Chains A and B, each alone.
Chain A
Amino acid sequence: MSLENNTSLIDEEIIRKDESKGLHNLIYVKDLSLWHGKQQTLKNVELNIRDKGITVLLGPSGCGKTTLLKTFNRLTDLDPDIKTTGSIFFEDKDILTKNIDVYALRQKMGLLSQRPHPLPGTISDNIRYALKLKGIKSKVEQDDRIEYYIKKVALWDEVKDRLKYSANSLSIGQQQRLCLARGLAIEPRVILADEPTSALDPISSRKIEEQFQELSKEFAIVLVTHILRQAKRLADYTAFMYYGEVVEKGKPSDLFENPKTEIFKDYLQVGH
């Protein structure tokens, strides 16, 4: 675990620099290293996540993108073998310290996983669980919001007549959008997406991508992908990772046009 919860140390300098450029950052990853047993999965990661917009973590499988994503909502806590050093600052707090309320943190960082995992229950139940977590008790208000969130992910027309059906009855693509709606219903600030289209067919993938572009106006989205074209389509900011290190980062326009390292050049070439 990390050192102290010393917010004054962070980067008032960096924040000022960014804000002068018109950028607002929401998450600052400072010198983050992560060990899984004896194996080091993340090496001195430095990264800023923009407040609105899509930050893409790009890289080959096994490069540590997903692990980095899971440190953001502390799902890494589940593995007692994982040790971290460094800090992740979010809303003026180092979220890697022990005295952080992880449940509140996870509600601010909605996670969309590789495969959709609806919870057992009906389609509307799935959103209702999230609403109940937020303390919304009135049935009428719950129903209103269920409609609102399902509309928000453009699923309403497909499911409005079968809200009482099991979430299991949906196709995988629909399930993924339902999980997105469920994630939105807990009113997060950040959406963490771990290769959210990898299990989906092209049409469903495109729907999710369109959702993301729309949602990036309201939320900070961190998208993990190994698909170069997806990164190019969606990224407002990109970090290329390789074996646990952030090798290159920057605006897509700079990054994809002028790769600096050989590794990234190779990756761009193979990806085409």
Chain B
Amino acid sequence: MNSRKYLVEKIVKIILLIFTIFIVFVLLSIFYGIFKKGLPALNWEIISQVPKGGYYFGKEGGILNAIVGSLYLAIGASLIALVISIPAAFFIHTYLFSYPKWQKRVRLWLDVLWGIPPIVYGAFAFNFMLFMGWPSSLLAAMITVALLISPVMIRSMDESLQHNSKGLFESALSLGFFKGEIGFKFLFKQSLPGITTAFLLALGKGLGDTASVLFTAGFTDYIPESITEPAATLPLAIFFQLSSPIPEVKERAYAAAIVLTIIILVISILSRVLSKRFSKNRIK
């Protein structure tokens, strides 16, 4: 019954297509919504100035404090996460090499950690800060976000090392290298594309995450001058402006959303380009 096969094939194709179109449509309509509402309010002033006195009532100023705050936070957090993640990922692939059971356990644990909602990290960090008597600050937020993104960073490097790492490891050992040396010399080169992707993913997450910075970063109208000062972040700036009853302020919230979306878009594209460039010496 070949004609039936053709019919079913057609139906299946249409179903798959519908779902694909649906998700692309959602993405495009978000873009459309943000740009339609935000574009009129988006101008040089809003991205080049910090809020003036009456900013939140629709008067002069901009969201430079939040843009800079978010960038500081995301870069700082990603760097801290990198310092934690690289040794951890190498450990899984070198010293844990002989213990596959433990490799699996560590991976499961990291995946569980990644599943914990950011607000829980935020609350945990906030409690810790209260206990220690620390005020909200850029540093506290950096550490919180770093802890939040480390699991996925480790796992993404780990995935990039899965392929071929056994043979590479054994042949480097047979040359007389020791395990740690293999990690930092060869696995580093091998996972450079993975590290780049992981770093930029983390950067995006650091820019976009709201819940974990809600209590930890605080909010300020100024650009922080040290990591012990509180800092404004874009997601929180959007949140505060969106909850305002004044239409002009609401519009600016969408303008801020455009800025955030564009930054994250640029990072995503950059991560593709860089990871391709760094795969040059990777052994496939």
**B10 cross-chain contacts in A, Cβ below 8 A:** none
Q: Are B283 and A119 in contact (CB under 8 A)?
A: yes
CA distance A107 to B178 in the complex (A): 12
In the complex, the chain B residue whose C-beta lies closest to that of A185 is B175
Q: Does A111 contact B (CB under 8 A)?
A: yes
Q: Does A208 contact B (CB under 8 A)?
A: no
Chain B: interface residue count, which band? 20 to 34
Q: Are B176 and A79 in contact (CB under 8 A)?
A: no
Dominant SS among interface residues on chain A: mixed
Which parts of A189-211 form the interface with B (CB within 8 Å)?
192
Q: Are A78 and B167 in contact (CB under 8 A)?
A: no
Q: Are B281 and A113 in contact (CB under 8 A)?
A: no
Least CB distance, A106 to chain B, in whole angstroms: 5
Q: Pick from B168, B174, B178 the residue with the most CB of A within 10 Å.
A: B174
Q: Does A109 contact B (CB under 8 A)?
A: yes
Q: Does A167 contact B (CB under 8 A)?
A: yes
Which parts of B172-190 form the interface with A (CB within 8 Å)?
172-178, 185-186, 189-190
Least CB distance, B257 to chain A, in whole angstroms: 41
In the complex, the number of residue pairs spanning A and B with C-beta atoms less than 8 Å apart equals 76
Instruction: Identify A80's interface contact among B99, B170, B185, CB under 8 A.
Output: B99
Instruction: Identify B170's interface contact among A75, A120, A167, CB under 8 A.
Output: A75
Q: Does A115 contact B (CB under 8 A)?
A: yes
Q: Does B277 contact A (CB under 8 A)?
A: no
Q: Are B175 and A117 in contact (CB under 8 A)?
A: no
Known A75-B170, A80-B98; judge A168-B176 contact (CB<8 A). Answer: no
**A267 cross-chain contacts in B, Cβ below 8 A:** none
In the complex, the chain B residue whose C-beta lies closest to that of A166 is B281
Instruction: Identify A73's interface contact among B97, B174, B178, B281, CB under 8 A.
Output: B174
Nearest first, the 5 A-B pairs at minimum CB distance are: A111-B174, A120-B189, A117-B171, A107-B176, A117-B167
Question: Can you name 24 A-B pairs with beta carbons within 8 Å?
Answer: A75-B170, A75-B174, A78-B173, A79-B98, A106-B174, A106-B175, A107-B176, A109-B174, A110-B174, A111-B170, A117-B167, A119-B171, A119-B172, A119-B283, A120-B190, A122-B281, A166-B280, A166-B281, A166-B282, A168-B282, A168-B284, A183-B175, A186-B176, A192-B174
Contacts from A to B (Cβ < 8 Å): 73, 75, 78-80, 103-104, 106-107, 109-111, 113, 115, 117-122, 129-130, 133, 166-168, 179, 182-183, 186, 192
Contacts from B to A (Cβ < 8 Å): 97-99, 164, 167-168, 170-178, 185-186, 189-190, 280-284
